[in-house]
Amino acid sequence: MVIGAGVIGCAVALELARDGREVVVVDRVAGPGQGSTSASSAVIRFNYSTWDGVALSWEAKHCWESWRDHLGAPAGEPLARFHRTGFLMLDVPVADHARTAALFDRARVPYEIWDAATLRARVPQLDVARHWPPKPVRDDAFWVEGNGELGGLWCPDGGYVDDPQLAAVNLADAARRAGVDFVFRRAVVAVERASGRVRGVTLDDGSELSAPVVVNVGGPWSTKVNAVAGVGDDFTVAVKPMRQEVHAVVATGEVTENLPVVADLDLGTYFRRMPGDSVLIGGAEPECDPLQWLDDADSADLNATAELFEAQVTRAARRVPALTVPAAPRGLAGVYDVAEDWTPIYDRTSLDGYYVAMGTSGNQFKNAPAVGRLMAALVEAVEGGRDHDHEPLAFTGAHTGLTIDLGAFSRRRPLNAETSGTVLG
C-alpha cells in the first residue's frame, strides 16, 4: 500500500507493481498529483550538496528524457514534457562551484564555469552585478549599486517539466496498466500493526485495508501520517511543512528568448520560462525573509500574496532588467515537506513493513521516477531480510550505472553537513 498519489507516490506504486507486487494507492484528494506536486516548479537540475543527490538527479534526468518509454505509454497518450533549456547557477558564497564541479566530474554531468563576460555574452538579458547578501526589497540597501560581478556554473542538460500534475497522472496511468488500484477521496486515519509489524491501514470511512507493506509518501502531511503510525522516535532528522509562493509574470521575447533556468541565490530567487511568453519565479530562502513554517500543512493559505509577489518579482527584475513588475499578483502557494538538512528521507522505519519517502524539501520532483525505483529496491531488499539500518543498500541507476548509497537518505543519518540550507538541498 502506498499512502499518497503525488508524483513520488505514483512512481513508487508503479515500480512496486513492476516488481510483481499487488499495489493499492490511497489518497484523500480526488486524483493524482493534487497535493504539493501540483504547485511544483518542476525544475530539473543536478547540483546537490551530496554525491548521492547528484547521482540520483542525473539518473532521473534520463527517465524524463525518455518519458514515454519510461512509462510504457501508448503513442498518443498526452504526456508532460521535459524542456531542456539549460540550468545556470549564479555565483554565491553558500554554494561552492568547485565542489559541484568535482561531483559533476565524478557523475560525468556536462558543465561549464562562466565568468561575468561569458555570462553577459551567453545570457544577455541578465544583469551580472553582484548584490550578496539578499536584502528586503523595501530596504534602501536593495537598490544600492552592485559590488562586483557574477559568473556562474552552466549545465546544458537542466530544464523543467511543463506540467508536474500531468507527470503524476502519467505515472498513475502507467501504474494502472501495471495493475495498481487507486482509492481516491479516502484519508488514512490509522496505521494498524500486529506483532511489531504493519498490518494495514484504517480509512476515514471506517474501512480497513490490509497490507504487509505500507509506504508513507504523504508529502507535507507525511509527519502526521507517521504520528498515526506511531513512528518517528528514532528519526535524527526533523521534518516540517513550509509554505512557499511561486509567481508568474507575462514577459516579452527579450526576456524569455533562450532563458535557461536560473538559480540566483545572490538576490534570493530562482526563475525559468514557462510555455507561452511567461516567467515563473520562486524564492530561495534568503535570510532576510522570514520562513513560513507551518504546524499543519492544511493551514496554508494557497493564494499568492501581494508582499511576496512584489519581493520575488522585483528581485527577478533586478537580475533581468527587461522584466516588468505587474501591479496585480499572479501565482500560487504550495507547501514543502522540509527536512532540517534539506535532504529527503527514503528509508524503512522502526515498524517492520512500514517505509517512508518524505522530507522532499522542495527539491525532489525531478527525482521522482528514480525514487520509485530505489524505494522498490529498498522494499525488496528489506522484506528479503537485509539489515538496511546497519548495512545500507547501494542502488545502481539503470541509465547511468552510478551507485547511490541509500544510507545518505536514512532517517537516522547524521545531518547533511554540506547542505546549502536552502531548497537547493
Ligand X SMILES: Cc1cc2nc3c(=O)[nH]c(=O)nc-3n(C[C@H](O)[C@H](O)[C@H](O)COP(=O)(O)OP(=O)(O)OC[C@H]3O[C@@H](n4cnc5c(N)ncnc54)[C@H](O)[C@@H]3O)c2cc1C
Residues that bind ligand X (CB under 6 A): 3-9, 26-29, 34-37, 39-43, 187-188, 217-221, 225, 244, 246, 282, 334-336, 360, 362-366
CA–chain centroid gap for 23, Å, is: 24
Q: Which is nearer to ligand X, 87 or 132 (CB)?
A: 87
**Cα(179)–Cα(176) distance, rounded to whole angstroms?**
5
Q: What's the one-letter identity of residue 335?
A: V
**Cα(37)–Cα(335) distance, rounded to whole angstroms?**
9
Q: Which helix (H) or strand (E) holds 383?
A: helix 368-383
Q: Which is nearer to ligand X, 128 or 311 (CB)?
A: 311
Shortest distance, position 10 Cβ to ligand X, whole Å:
7
Shortest distance, position 348 Cβ to ligand X, whole Å:
17
CA–chain centroid gap for 408, Å, is: 16
**Cα(100)–Cα(229) distance, rounded to whole angstroms?**
38
Q: Which helix (H) or strand (E) holds 176?
A: helix 164-177
Q: Would you give the DSSP letter of residue 386?
A: -
Buried b (16+ CB within 10 A) or exposed e, 375-389: bbbbbbbbeeeeeeb
Q: Would you give the DSSP letter of residue 73?
A: P
Shortest distance, position 211 Cβ to ligand X, whole Å:
14
Q: Would you give the DSSP letter of residue 291?
A: P
Q: What angle do CA 162, 167, 171 make, to 5 degrees?
A: 165
Q: Which is nearer to ligand X, 111 or 342 (CB)?
A: 342
The two beta strands, 87-90 and 261-264, are: parallel
Shortest distance, position 244 Cβ to ligand X, whole Å:
4
Q: What DSSP line would sit under 234-268, residue for residue? A: T-SS-EEEEEEEEEEEE--HHHHTT--EEEETTTT
Shortest distance, position 109 Cβ to ligand X, whole Å:
16
Q: Which is nearer to ligand X, 222 or 256 (CB)?
A: 222
Q: Which is nearer to ligand X, 217 or 370 (CB)?
A: 217
C-alpha count within 13 angstroms, C-beta hemisphere, residue 31 = 9
Shortest distance, position 146 Cβ to ligand X, whole Å:
26
Number of H helices, E strands in the chain: 10, 23
Nearest to 142 by CA among 274, 8, 364, 314: 314
Shortest distance, position 161 Cβ to ligand X, whole Å:
8
Q: Which is nearer to ligand X, 50 or 244 (CB)?
A: 244
Shortest distance, position 184 Cβ to ligand X, whole Å:
9
Yes or no: say if 12 and 355 are a contact pair by the CB < 8 Å rule. no
Residue 338, helix vs strand vs coil? strand
Q: Which is nearer to ligand X, 129 or 190 (CB)?
A: 190
Shortest distance, position 230 Cβ to ligand X, whole Å:
14
Shortest distance, position 313 Cβ to ligand X, whole Å:
15
- If 0-12 CB within 10 Å is exposed, 13-18 middle and 19+ buried, where does residue 340 land? middle
Q: Which is nearer to ligand X, 202 or 396 (CB)?
A: 202
Q: Which is nearer to ligand X, 229 or 382 (CB)?
A: 229
Q: Which is nearer to ligand X, 128 or 400 (CB)?
A: 400
- If 0-12 CB within 10 Å is exposed, 13-18 middle and 19+ buried, where does residue 364 land? buried
**Cα(381)–Cα(402) distance, rounded to whole angstroms?**
19
